[in-house]
Amino acid sequence: MSRLLPWAGAVVVVLAAAFGYAHLRTDTYLGRWFAWRASDVGDMLRFPDLRVAASTEPRALPVLASTAPLTDMSVEASVDGSPRHLPLQELLASTRSAAFVVLAGGAVAGEWYAAGPSPQVRAGPVTSFSVAKSVTALLVAAAFEDGSLSSLDDPVTRYLPALAGTDRGYDQVTLRHLLDMTSGVRFRDHDLPWGDKARVYYEPHLRELVFRLPLTSSPDSGFAYNSYNPVLLGLVLEAATGETVTDYFQRRLWEAVGAAYDATWSVSSSGETLPKMESGLNASPLDFARLGLLLLEDGVVDGQRVLPAQWVEDVTTPDPKRLVEPEAGLHYQQGWWVYAPVGGRQLAVAGRGHLGQYVFVYPELDVVVARFGTSTGGVGSWRAVFDQVACEAALLATRAPACG
């Protein structure tokens, strides 16, 4: 035993030294992994970011008249494994929610903020985590509409030829494969330092990293959620448009939807111009909801086509070939989660992010529900809550029952 103690002591000393050094070096991957630990909503203050200015012509959102706030409605929810029946605002307040916004018929049907409804709180920002993947998909669709991208079936090497030097298989990987998470790009899905889940999030040299990734399966061999795919799409957008992603985002989407507030998009390091396409878009909850309206309005804003009609139809129509969870009727297509209307449930198209960030779009009800928070708050299915809220919001907007 005594022979092991010096060795064990040396290990402790080395780990302690590495841990202490890491806290001083948050410009390195391992430094961030040690110092920042598990990701949280405060990361939007830790990463450098790029500003996206509000629209020069913010889109006015009228407020639906109602005898009682939508957040007074009662909902059924499973919280920490127990069924509950309680007012929506009580559920929100008790589940670490930060903001909750509902649009119906293009109008505000309900708003709730943990910090109160002041103008400053409305402006946000809140962070989105993987909702940013769905926004990246909107950008790809916009580039397809304006002709910067010729086809979603283009090989990624048409825009990023250097990838072929990493793995010849990239010649067979298309933009559609990247959007549908069927690319075959290596992704070790765990949070340990040698895993890609942590690496893509904390890596300060993300642009360089993605050019070193091999393929571990052939494209279209199956769905595998992979945060490198949207990063590659960001590089494709740069090459295809000749603009930085944030400049293109501001011009083609933020301005078009009439965003009322400035946003920021985190970058992997100071001086980098490629946003963290897999996460890190920080904006007002209302403006996130405005992005959802694009899917309800067939990709058209004020008579101007922003997204291709065929792309919107594809995203809002469940495709059996892209079913990823049969029991839930859940699909993944074109960067969005699509819930088929099975078991009496409503069709929903969603952007979903870590710790309970959601933008749910209900095409048949003309409703957007957006929730942001510091965790899921123990709610077993936020979708079940959103379904109830969407039906009530549609009733407020149309004065007629929208759900059976």
For residue range 126-144, list pLDDT tens digits in order: 999 999 999 999 999 999 9
Give me the pLDDT at residue 21, please: 52
Is residue 119 very low, low, confident or very high in pLDDT (cuts 50, 70, 90)? confident
Give me the pLDDT at residue 6, please: 46
Give me the pLDDT at residue 148, please: 98
Whether this model's pTM surpasses 0.95: no
Do 374 and 402 form a contact (C-beta atoms < 8 A)? Answer: no
Rg of the chain (C-alpha set): 22
Joined tokens for residue 156: 């990624």
Q: pLDDT tens digits for 87-108?
A: 999 999 999 999 999 999 999 9
Q: Which of 185, 179, 153, 154 is nearest to 167 (CA)?
A: 185
- Residue 365's identity, in one-letter code, is L
Q: pLDDT tens digits for 227-286?
A: 999 999 999 999 999 999 999 999 999 999 999 999 999 999 999 999 999 999 999 999
Do 229 and 181 form a contact (C-beta atoms < 8 A)? Answer: yes
User: Which is more confident, 217 or 399?
Assistant: 217
Q: Which residue has the tokens 């926004």?
A: 135
Q: pLDDT tens digits for 357-377?
A: 999 999 999 999 999 999 999
Q: How much is the average pLDDT of 144-153?
A: 97
Is residue 20 very low, low, confident or very high in pLDDT (cuts 50, 70, 90)? low
Do 134 and 335 form a contact (C-beta atoms < 8 A)? Answer: yes
Q: Give CA–CA dist 357/378, Å, rounded.
A: 14
Q: Give CA–CA dist 285/267, Å, rounded.
A: 21
Is residue 5 very low, low, confident or very high in pLDDT (cuts 50, 70, 90)? very low
Q: pLDDT tens digits for 286-309?
A: 999 999 999 999 999 999 999 999
Angle at 65 between CA 62 and CA 67, to 5 degrees: 155
Give me the pLDDT at residue 68, please: 81
User: Which is more confident, 76 or 12?
Assistant: 76
- Residue 404's identity, in one-letter code, is G
Distant-in-sequence contacts of 331-335, Cβ < 8 A, 24+ apart: 332/180, 332/181, 332/223, 332/225, 333/179, 333/180, 334/137, 334/141, 334/179, 334/180, 335/133, 335/134, 335/136, 335/137, 335/138, 335/140, 335/179, 335/230
